[in-house]
Amino acid sequence: MRELKNDRYLKALMRQPVDQTPVWMMRQAGRYLPEYKATRAEAGSFMDLCKNTELACEVTLQPLRRFPLDAAILFSDILTIPDAMGLGLYFETGEGPKFERPIQSAADIQALPVPDPEQELGYVMDAVRAIRAALDGQVPLIGFSGSPWTLATYMVEGGPTKTFSKIKKLIFSEPALAHAMLGKLAESVTLYLNAQIKAGAQAVQIFDTWGGVLSGPAYREFSLRYMEQIVSGLIREHEGRKVPVVLFTKGGGLWLEDIAATGCDAVGLDWTVDLGDARRRIGDKVALQGNMDPSMLYAPPAAIEQEVGRILHSFGEGPGHVFNLGHGIHPDVDPAHAGAFIEAVGRLSRPYHK
């Protein structure tokens, strides 16, 4: 494999010195880019795009052609594992992901298989291999998965929800059954991420999108313990280099110390957390990733630059920070504003890395 031309993202995750703060954006390959919309139209549907190796590779590379980003992230979806378990993932326009066969009984949970990542999820590994080859050492490739808890919420609810009533009914009325499902999901995610690493992913991130809807005790029991289990089962060195692991719980600011204690290398932060406070709490143990409010990209470029400066000042000098948004970029953001954001991070962060 080629040596990386730009490895500041991996170095920052390992809290090693860099020349400037690395930056990438969650959902950087997405609907805010006109070229993405054209490729998705060519593919026919979102899942057809995910399953087409050539087109999944193309949309992964599109933001890198526009912006000086420090990492590429695999183009896929967090719900590929439940789909591979036979739940029938589909997307309703304007309504998000749904399942044809949601989990409704103990028998449904018992029947869930643990997918073979090179078989049922082989299209993801094909995409990883193709993207890694196409990147040609330009920047590292990030692989990812949804967390067991987040996957379970969609599997039981059948789609997006505001109340989480079905999944919460399951965990509180039949906790043993919930743990049986979460255990299968943790095993599946571990296999899936390890397969991505073997295929060429150079860092991996677990997206715990819905961990923040739980109470502290429920978060530790039904979300965090399974992410910790996954972290302990991951390949942490490949191709002669460490493979960093990032955990991101949206709404997880109350539990940063617990997240940092899982053995992960970096903790992703949403925009509700003060970066300087997070650094004081856990920044001597792990790197931090984040955390500008994605809605800030609606602001004029001068205001975006001011906010980037504020966040960099909040973190302060030294390594261990990957600049990102606090969640995914919104589809109606002007790409020029994303460009202003990325340029500002590169320019304004250099004095912090003397």
Query: Has 327 been labeled as part of a binding site?
Result: yes
Gyration radius of the chain's alpha carbons: 19
- Tokens 């087409």 appear where? 52
Question: CB–CB of 149/157 below 8 Å?
Answer: no
Query: Has 29 been labeled as part of a binding site?
Result: yes
Active site members: 27, 31, 40, 77, 154
Query: Has 108 been labeled as part of a binding site?
Result: no
Query: Has 28 been labeled as part of a binding site?
Result: yes
Per-residue pLDDT of the chain (354 residues; tens, 9 = 90+): 568 999 999 999 999 999 999 999 999 999 999 999 999 999 999 999 999 999 999 999 999 999 999 999 999 999 999 999 999 999 887 788 999 999 999 999 999 999 999 999 999 999 999 999 999 999 999 999 999 999 999 999 999 999 999 999 999 999 999 999 999 999 999 999 999 999 999 999 999 999 999 999 999 999 999 999 999 999 999 999 999 999 999 999 999 999 999 999 999 999 999 999 999 999 999 999 999 999 999 999 999 999 999 999 999 999 999 999 999 999 999 999 999 999 999 999 999 998
- Furthest-apart CA atoms within the chain: distance in Å: 59
Question: CB–CB of 195/125 below 8 Å?
Answer: yes
Query: Has 27 been labeled as part of a binding site?
Result: yes
Give residue limits of the domains in the chain. Answer: 8-352
Residue 237 φ/ψ, nearest 5 degrees: -145, 130
| This prediction's pTM | 0.97
Amino acid at 25: M
Query: Has 180 been labeled as part of a binding site?
Result: no
Q: What kind and span of H or E run contains 237?
A: strand 237-238
Give the count of alpha carbons within 13 A of 196, CB side only. Answer: 32
Query: Has 353 been labeled as part of a binding site?
Result: no
Query: Has 80 been labeled as part of a binding site?
Result: no
**Domain at 8-352: CATH architecture:** Alpha-Beta Barrel (3.20)
| H helix count then E strand count, the chain | 16, 11
Give the count of alpha carbons within 13 A of 320, CB side only. Answer: 19
